[in-house]
Structures are given as C-alpha cells and as structure tokens.
C-alpha cells in the first residue's frame, strides 16, 4: 500500500479511536488500526472485539493495499507534526514508512490479514435520532452504570420501549444498586425498532455513541444480531450488546412521595461539594435533616472533623433525617438542565427522587445510607 493523505482529517480520525484500541490486550493486533484502500478512499478501522469503529476518508491512492499501524504511535506522530500531508508506504518484512516530508518514521507492523474483521449486518432497520436527544439520554444515565466487575449485569445502559398516555417512548435506565437514573424520550419511528424485552449497551459503547451524537445533528441507529449499529456520514460504529438480563428495577421506584421540597440546584451542588471535602473511602455519607424550613447538611469524618451548612427551603412536614452519598447527588444534579429541582422523600429507609421541569421524562433516584 502507498498513499498520501491530509494530516488534519487523518489526525481527527485517529484521535477518535484512542479510547477503543486495546493497549494491554493479549492480542497485540488490537492495539493497531487497520488502513485499507477502498477505491479513491481509505478505510480506517479499530476494534477491541466488543466495539468496532470504521471511518472512510479521502486519500491519494498511489498503490492499493492494507496495513496495520500502532494506533498510539500513529496518533503521537500525527499530533506532533504540523505539515499538511502525510506519506505512508508499506515496505518489506512488515515495516511501514510514515513521513510528513520533514520527519521520517519507519515502524514495524502486523500482517493486515490477521486483523479481526467486523461486518455490518444486512437488512438492519434503522431510524434517525437527533444527536442532541441521544446525547441527553446517555448523559443522564451513564454515570449510574456499575463499575464493579462483580456487577456485570449492571455494567451497561438498559434500553426498552415503554408506553404511557397513549404514546410510545424509548427508555434508558442505569443503576449500580445504590442509585438509578431513568429517562423517557419520544423518538420518531421508534415503533419500527425491535428492542425485544429490552437490551443492554455496555458503558464503553455508550461513551463512543455519545461522541458520535455530540458531533452531529442526527445519528442513524439500528439493532440486529446482538449488535447496535450507529452511522453518521462516513462513520460506522458497531457495539456488541451485553448478553444478560437486566434486573427488574420497577419495585424500587416509589409510586408516590410522602413529602417533597424545591430548591436551587446550584446552591445544593455547592453545599454538597463542601461536604465532600471531609469524605474519604470510609466516610462518604452526608446527613440531611429537613425541619422548620431548613435543610441541614452535615458531613462527619472522625479522622478529620465535621462540616455543616444550612439551606432555606419550604417544608411543612414532619422532621426527616436521612444519609446519602454526596457524590451520587452531585452526579445526578450535574446531568440536569433544571435550575430548580424537586427532591421527593418517603422516609429514612426509602430512596430520594430527583426531578426537574426542564428535564422532562427524567428521574434520578438515590438510595439512603446508614449514618
């Protein structure tokens, strides 16, 4: 293979795959990107076997072929060069020459025919989703995905179709067992997608899908053969779905709160951040006491000291004292658009619900902690 390619377009593409390529895999080929000529274009592919990325960009094809190059080293070379054009030529003995006209690199590479091939399924039913809508749904759920390896069944975002008020919505739900985030959105032509009883998209795949959604006005999405397929212009993203059953989350969602308070989101975030100053791995809880139109936040760390702050609220119910992980609250509040948020409570053993008028279809839920 021998090509000349625009540095800026090439750099943008290689930048996108840095979070996909595997650096510590027992398969060295997964740390490389595959470059293959397609007519007058070049196809750039990256995969970790669970997630596949492919983008086609223009290039001057001097000789057709395909090669693999270390994704990390190629990124670093492109990053440090300011020249407009790169020259790439495959050499003998699995070597590749890379030059920007000023600096020359010669790298070893692996045989291109050993690169894992991912093929886009045929006859996939695809719908168009607004990038802003998709990104909002991901941002308001992904932070609740479990990160513990033991919680594999909670390691992705669950997506399903739900109906209420005579309309069909797509719902995304994520939970790590200590908190839950849920959002329903109405999306045109959602009925044409076959989501079965729901499916789970892994967190890494959701992150890549969010990048795609953030960069464009709309994204084409479909599901087939246990894969999520997403397209935008000359980019193809394939995400292998998790082959597990998401637990029934409905029993933990309160049907009705016993009492609620409204307050300024930013004021609460600022107060919670102050409480986190004294937290560590052993002491994470903030005690929230609500009584006589005052919301008192207290963080106690026996090894360091105590922090306390009061917030004025409108509250005329009985005294309530309950403990929460302050970081869980902050994660939820930071994902919301509403300036005024509503906290709903039942008692000190039940979860707190978080809602806001500007965040239609969204529900945040935080489980209490013992204090």
Question: Are the C-beta atoms of 183 and 137 separated by less than 8 Å?
Answer: yes
**Residue 351 structure tokens:** 């979860």
Would you state the pLDDT for residue 279? 85
- Report all structural domains of the chain as residue ranges with CATH numbers, in order of start: 2-114 (3.10.150.10), 126-250 (3.10.150.10), 254-366 (3.10.150.10)
Question: Are the C-beta atoms of 209 and 200 separated by less than 8 Å?
Answer: no
Residues paired with residue 312 on neighbouring β-strands, in sequence order:
294
Length of the chain counted residue by residue = 371
Q: Biggest alpha carbon distance in the chain?
A: 80
Would you state the pLDDT for residue 194? 87
What is the C-alpha separation between 94 and 97, in angstroms, rounded? 10
Report residue 68 CA to chain centroid gap: 28
Question: What is the tens place of the pLDDT at every residue in 293-320?
Answer: 999 999 988 888 999 999 999 998 999 9
Q: pLDDT at residue 283 above 90? A: no
Which segments of 93-182 does DSSP mark as H helices, in order?
131-139
Band of residue 75 on the pLDDT scale cut at 50, 70, 90: very high
Q: Which residue has the tokens 């190629």?
A: 74
Question: What is the tens place of the pLDDT at every residue in 122-133?
Answer: 889 999 999 999
Band of residue 273 on the pLDDT scale cut at 50, 70, 90: very high
Q: pLDDT at residue 115 above 80? A: yes
Q: pLDDT at residue 23 above 80? A: no
Percentage of residues in the chain having pLDDT higher than 90? 85
Would you state the pLDDT for residue 25? 76
What is the C-alpha separation between 232 and 209, in angstroms, rounded? 10
Q: pLDDT at residue 286 above 90? A: yes
When computed from its CA atoms, the radius of gyration of the chain, rounded to whole angstroms, is: 25
Would you state the pLDDT for residue 150? 66
**Residue 161 structure tokens:** 């179709």
Question: Are the C-beta atoms of 249 and 180 separated by less than 8 Å?
Answer: yes
Band of residue 119 on the pLDDT scale cut at 50, 70, 90: confident
Question: What is the tens place of the pLDDT at every residue in 30-49?
Answer: 999 999 999 889 999 999 99
Question: What is the tens place of the pLDDT at every residue in 218-266?
Answer: 999 999 989 999 999 999 999 999 999 999 999 999 989 999 999 999 9
Closest to 105 measured CA to CA, from 123, 83, 121: 83
Would you state the pLDDT for residue 39? 87
Supply the DSSP symbol for 165: T
Q: pLDDT at residue 188 above 70? A: yes
């Amino acid at each position: 293979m021998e090509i000349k390619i625009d540095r800026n377009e090439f750099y943008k593409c290689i930048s996108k795959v840095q979070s996909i390529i595997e650096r510590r895999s027992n398969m060295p080929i997964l740390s490389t990107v595959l470059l293959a000529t397609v007519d007058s274009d070049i196809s750039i592919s990256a995969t970790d076997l669970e997630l596949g990325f492919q983008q086609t960009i223009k290039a001057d094809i001097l000789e057709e072929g395909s090669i693999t190059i270390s994704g990390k080293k190629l990124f670093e070379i492109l990053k440090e060069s300011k020249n407009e054009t790169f020259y790439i030529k495959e050499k003998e003995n699995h070597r590749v020459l890379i030059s920007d006209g000023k600096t020359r690199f010669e790298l070893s590479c692996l045989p291109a025919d050993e690169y894992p091939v991912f093929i886009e399924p045929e006859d996939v039913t695809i719908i168009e989703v607004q990038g802003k809508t998709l990104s909002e749904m991901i941002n308001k759920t992904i932070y609740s995905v479990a990160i513990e390896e033991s919680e594999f069944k909670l390691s992705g975002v669950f997506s399903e179709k739900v109906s209420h008020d005579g309309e069909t919505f797509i719902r995304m739900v994520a939970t790590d067992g200590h908190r839950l985030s849920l959002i329903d959105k109405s999306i045109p032509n959602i009925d044409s997608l076959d989501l079965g009883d729901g499916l789970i998209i892994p967190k890494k795949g959701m992150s890549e899908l969010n990048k795609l959604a953030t960069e464009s006005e709309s994204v084409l999405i479909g599901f087939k053969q246990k894969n999520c397929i997403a397209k935008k212009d000359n980019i193809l993203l394939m995400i292998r779905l998790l082959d597990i059953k998401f637990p029934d989350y409905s029993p933990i969602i309160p049907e009705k709160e016993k009492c609620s308070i409204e307050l300024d989101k930013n004021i609460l975030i600022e107060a919670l951040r102050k409480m986190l100053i004294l937290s560590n791995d052993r002491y994470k809880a903030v005690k929230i006491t609500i009584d006589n139109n005052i919301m008192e936040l207290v963080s106690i760390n026996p090894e360091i000291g105590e922090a306390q702050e009061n917030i004025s609220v409108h509250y005329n119910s009985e005294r309530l004292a309950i403990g929460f992980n302050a970081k869980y609250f902050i994660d939820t509040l930071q994902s919301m658009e509403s300036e005024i948020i509503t906290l709903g409570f039942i008692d000190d053993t039940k979860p707190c619900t978080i809602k806001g008028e500007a965040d239609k279809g969204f529900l945040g839920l935080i489980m209490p902690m013992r204090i």
